Amino acid sequence: MPVESIFHRLEALLPKVQKPIQYVGGELNSTVKDWDSADVRWALMYPDAYEVGLPNQGVAILYEILNELPGTLAERTYAVWPDLEALMRAEGVPQFTVDAHRPVRAFDVLGVSFSTELGYTNMLTALDLAGIPLTASDRGDDDPIVLAGGHAAFNPEPIADFLDAAVLGDGEQIAIAISEVVREWKGEGRPGGRDELLMRLAESGGVYVPKFYDVDYHPDGRIKRVAPNRADVPWRVHKHTVMDLDEWPYPKKPLVPLAETVHERFSVEIFRGCTRGCRFCQAGMITRPVRERSITTIGAMVDNGVKESGFNEVGLLSLSSADHSEIGEVAKGLADRYEGTNTSLSLPSTRVDAFNIDLANEFSRNGRRSGLTFAPEGGSERMRKVINKMVTEEDLIRTVTTAYSQGWRQVKLYFMCGLPTEQDEDVLGIADLAKKVIKAGREITGSRDIRCTVSIGGFVPKPHTPFQWAAQADHETVDRRLKALRDSLRGDKQYGKAIGFRYHDGKPSIVEGLLSRGDRRVGAVIRAVWESGGRFDGWSEHFSYERWMAAAEQAGVDVDWYTTREREENEVLPWDHLDAGLDREWLWQDWQEAVSGGEVEDCRWTPCYDCGVCPTMGTEIQIGPTGRKLLPLTVV
């Protein structure tokens, strides 16, 4: 039976809310399929506002791949702002998709992509609005399978009570496999109900189903063990890795929003994974090994994407785009192709030691110099050795001088505060570095029209990194150091006005730390926060530290125990049964190296240092150069 659109009920509410355009759908390249033409139906959610969620690459890729499958449809849903939420509750309007405005509860799978843990309360809002029981154990056969993915899914334990399943790693192939399991189960008449479907998903070892694992605790609160409670469920669940990115050239038809979004560009992921070995970086650790897209595939994707979308900016995405083995040829080929047009190129984030004058020239050839972002991360040489960010002060000055000399007038530098072993002087070193950047820029250009913005985030230790055992800095320490840094920058009459300063205080980082390294007991905190009005915790204007602390006290959860406590080597961590491929002993040794200031080379260019990913996952590093040229070569 067709599922009817609820738009006629929603439409009456839209004149009463802010930014109603974000709820109406109808974007260029969006897909609406006939309900009865499909027997497997996905609702894909990014648990944040439309303006943040629409540009998300993960959701966009799965949306296309699933809609290309015969007998499968996928639609998108986003978190609704509190003004619309209140009206929907008052009028009985359920959580809906923006494509065909169908109720989310009617779908087979609700796939939620978490880039950050601060989206957990938004997921609960969506479940509740949809009429889906919050707790997985309360759901029946007619409720969707609630499935988590994204980087935060590498430790889904804090939301285990609310999830039916989670997937680790790349989603392209496993989404298709899950669709086939659902199709087969439905085709057989849903034997064994919901439990049987989850069992079929779990048996493969590629989908984590929390209900099939029991957690035992020591008297002091540490985890004793996590063990399967069903015979056919594997002890460890493994991540998924797509090994040939050229076979998956998505998105092919990028969504073009009607409302303003945070990124107005067509993005092409030029490689996946990173082996630089930055010890704080969860993304670099969990996405190994490096797999490059070929120069010809990149060229074809850019050509097609620009034609299909009309975007006039192309972003070349990865964790460190200037590290692509053929980035020079890619940049020159694309700059040649689009010279004289209104299409510009950008590298959203660039490593200090990978940027050079040739890249600067190619990316500014169309005359656009919107700004460059570099991430030294640590304010002192010692600190950068601790985090394995092998960037010297000379590297940074040379790089920004190159940028200023090529016409850029604005450079953004990103740092973290609260890193392991950090001292006050390490943070104050950020001010000295920023002043030297301005001084060098003025000298090379002969102009005082030089700007540098220092942006600082609080460090949060993440699972599957060498810092997963580290104590997190308390928010009082972080705030005190940031205040001293601010005073040092603002008090400098010679350079202070040329340096912008943006920072987040330490309190949101503590909450993120609780959610990042929490276990199942933290679920009660999340629910209590949500019940007391917690929404959009990633937005400073909606975040309430006091609400989170009150909820933790109500749930009997010691926040310091989860955040500012250092873990011992043999402590069972909540995510140890979830396999990112990294050897636990190697991670521990790298943590010890961090404390002593030892550095690890990038294994793309040096011998293997035994992190464990390639042999464990049956994968290998895939890099060029290929020797091929960017095609087609004709100028637009």
pLDDT tens profile 2-43: 788 999 999 999 999 999 999 999 999 999 999 999 999 999
The single-letter DSSP state of residue 231 is T
Pairwise CA distance, residues 419 & 472, whole Å: 8
Q: Pinpoint the alpha helices (H) of 163-228.
A: 172-187, 193-203
pLDDT above 90 (res 413):
yes
Residue scoring higher pLDDT (374 or 190)? 190
Pairwise CA distance, residues 236 & 631, whole Å: 43
Pick the closest to residue 414 from 366, 379, 445 (CA basis).
379
Contact predicate 538/79, CB 8 Å: no
Q: What dihedral angle (degrees, nearest 10) is formed by the CA atoms of 241, 242, 243, 244? A: -170
Share of the chain above pLDDT 70, in %: 98
Over range 590-598, report the average pLDDT: 94
Pairwise CA distance, residues 41 & 4, whole Å: 14
166 three-class SS: strand
Task: Name the residue type at position 248.
Answer: W
461-517 pLDDT per residue, tens: 999 999 999 999 999 999 999 999 999 999 999 999 999 999 989 999 999 999 999
62-97 pLDDT per residue, tens: 999 999 999 999 999 999 999 999 999 999 999 999
pLDDT above 80 (res 356):
no
Which segment of 167-171, 369-373, 409-413, 562-566 scores lowest on mean pLDDT?
369-373
pLDDT above 90 (res 355):
no
Pick the closest to residue 259 from 30, 10, 72, 591 (CA basis).
30
Over range 98-123, report the average pLDDT: 97
Rounded to 5 degrees, φ, ψ at 480 are: -65, -40
Concatenating the DSSP letter of every residue in 85-120 gives HHHHHHHTPPPB-TTT--BGGGSSEEEEE-SSGGGH
- Is the domain defined by 6-235 classed in CATH 3.40.50.280? yes
pLDDT above 60 (res 395):
yes
Contact predicate 279/590, CB 8 Å: yes
Contact predicate 602/611, CB 8 Å: no
pLDDT computed for residue 370 by the predictor: 61
Which segment of 107-116, 362-371, 408-417, 576-585 scores lowest on mean pLDDT?
362-371
Q: Where are the domains of the chain?
A: 6-235, 265-368+601-635
Q: Measure CA 440 to chain center.
A: 34
pLDDT above 50 (res 258):
yes
pLDDT computed for residue 632 by the predictor: 56
pLDDT computed for residue 186 by the predictor: 97
266-302 pLDDT per residue, tens: 999 999 999 999 999 999 999 999 999 999 999 999 9
150 φ/ψ sector (left φ>0, alpha ψ -120 to 50, else beta): left
Q: Look up the pTM and report it.
A: 0.96
pLDDT above 50 (res 636):
no
pLDDT computed for residue 33 by the predictor: 97
pLDDT above 50 (res 336):
yes
Q: Sign of the CA dihedral 57, 59, 65, 68? A: negative
How many CB atoms are closer than 10 A to CB 339?
Answer: 12
Contact predicate 237/205, CB 8 Å: yes
CATH-assigned architecture of domain 265-368+601-635: 2-Layer Sandwich (3.30)
How many CB atoms are closer than 10 A to CB 231?
Answer: 5
Strands, E assignment, 25-168: 40-46, 72-78, 109-113, 145-149, 165-166
pLDDT computed for residue 340 by the predictor: 87
Q: How many CA atoms lie within 13 A of 163 on its CB side?
A: 28
Pick the closest to residue 325 from 291, 353, 352, 287 (CA basis).
291
